[in-house]
Amino acid sequence: MRLRLTLWFVVAVVVIIAAIMVGVYAVLSEQLRSDLDTRLVQQINRYQEAVASASDVNSLFALTREYLAGNRGEALGRAGFVLSLLTKAGDVVSNSSEVRPEELPQAKDLLSSGVPFSTEARWGSETYRVAGTVVKLKGEPVAAIFVAGSMQSILDTLRRLLVLLGLGGLVGCGAVGLGSWVLLGQALEPVRRITRTAAAITREDLSRRIGYEGPNDEIGELARTMDAMLDRLEQAFALQERFISDVSHELRTPITIAKGHLQVLDRQSSPSAELMREEHALVIEELDRMDRLVGDLLTLARAGRADLLQKEPVDLDVFLKSLVQQGPHLGEREWKIDSLPGGTIEADQDRLTQVFLNLLHNAVAHTKEDQVIAVGGRWRSDGRVVSLWVRDEGEGMGEEVRRQVFERFYRGEGRPSGGRVGLGLAIARALVEAHGGTIEVESSPGRGAKFVVTIPSSSSSPRS
């Protein structure tokens, strides 16, 4: 990638330099030719002023000879200009026998068309710029005058320019290539570090990080994002390993118990009917527990699927009242309703019921007979989010348990903040998050607990 990017930069610079070279060359060439054309026209004008007194072709011819033989003719030669006069009769007078602009095709057309021209022509090894126009006497064209100037200095200048531009371009391309190689090496070092880190990461070692210390640019953002992703991966693998360990233990326990009871029956030569019924009931109970555990695991696995929820309008007052009506079947507690929010939300009523039954089971497990368990709800001021809660006056929990209470198979230590937590609250959180909501707990040891579920509703209609 580094080599490709460097080559792309160099190619881009070559194209830009080539375009600049072509542009500079074309502009300077046109400017130099234009300057030479201007000097040629000036020589023509000076000649015409000198022969303005001619009355006929013969006098024009004679004045031209005098012009070329005098000081002005010498000045023309020193300046490298050639002047030629061509009459309609074909007579020619010139200050050069080698450079013959009157022999150009444009020269022959000039006497008939009368249109001035400028062109380039080559005599021997040298290139000339030629300008021509007609000479008029009494308004009638009688001859044509040509002035040719050497372009050798212009061509030499343009050649030197090309050499300088070429050398400058080579130096520029080399500098850009080297600079790009160095800068890209520095810029891509975090990417190489990411590659090395990713290659060194294994399931057994997820602790390696990139540790980028540089500017807060796109590369830095990529490195920090990669480190954050590795943090999440390490945490996910740790949770997965603990989850697998806990699941294997939870599944092994009912299997071991059931196996033990069956072995008890095997050791009896003639077990009584009563013993068989007792052992059968215990085995069925353990199998039911294992079935519930597998069902809970499936619910957690499906919680992230888009088709998990079948939403419908849920009347919140009816929903909370139905929870309190189911309360006595869960335990002998004092069941209450703190407040009714009114209105409806779009939710999956079966899954929402599953959430709150888990919370009620948890409340029953951490309270004693005749202690209060209450449900309630209220709308936020904007009417877009409703908060529903389950509150108890039981043993409560400590800060460490409160932070981890929604984790799968979490086990606290000691009471009242310890005890078995299991999958119920983890399932509750997963189902609430599937609704786009949140679940939190407020608690302290000996002062009960309050689980608050907040659910947004785009089609809410709170009652007054």
Domains of the chain: 2-157 (3.30.450.20), 218-302 (1.10.287.130), 312-456 (3.30.565.10)
CB atoms within 10 A of CB 54: 19
Contact criterion met (CB below 8 Å) for 367 and 333: yes
CA 2, CA 13: separation in Å to the nearest integer? 17
Strand intervals (E) in 116-257:
117-123, 126-137, 140-150
Least Cα distance to 308 among 275, 352, 367, 344 occurs for 352
User: What's the confidence (pLDDT) of residue 403?
Assistant: 87
The reported pTM is 0.47
pLDDT, position 275: 80
Contact indicator for 333, 364 with CB cutoff of 8 Å:
yes
Look up residue 304 and give its two tokens. Answer: 């992230």
> Rounded distance, CA 408 to CA 235, Å?
14
Structural element, H or E, at residue 366: none
Distance CA 114, CA 106 (A): 11
Please give the chain's pLDDT, 464 residues, in tens: 778 888 888 888 888 888 888 899 899 999 999 999 999 999 999 888 888 888 898 998 999 888 888 888 888 888 889 999 988 888 899 888 888 888 888 887 888 888 899 899 988 888 999 999 999 888 888 899 999 998 888 899 999 998 998 898 888 888 888 888 888 787 777 777 777 777 777 666 777 777 777 777 777 788 788 888 888 888 777 767 766 776 676 677 678 878 887 887 888 778 788 888 888 888 888 788 778 777 777 776 676 666 778 889 999 999 999 999 999 999 999 999 999 999 999 999 998 998 999 999 999 999 999 899 999 999 998 888 999 999 999 998 988 888 888 887 776 544 433 334 467 888 899 899 988 999 999 998 988 999 999 999 764 444 44
At residue 41, the 3 state secondary structure works out as helix
Residues 6+ apart with CB under 8 A from 234: 206, 207
Q: CA-to-CA distance for 463 and 376, rounded, in angstroms?
A: 15
The per-residue pLDDT for 55 is 87
Three-state DSSP class for residue 385: strand
92-94/372-379 β-pairing: unpaired
Predicted pLDDT of residue 310: 87
Short-list 302, 375, 380, CA closest to 345:
380
Query: What's residue 306's pLDDT?
Result: 66
Nearest to 340 by CA among 389, 394, 393: 389
The total of other beta-carbon atoms located within 10 Å of residue 194's CB is 20
What's the pLDDT at 217? Answer: 77
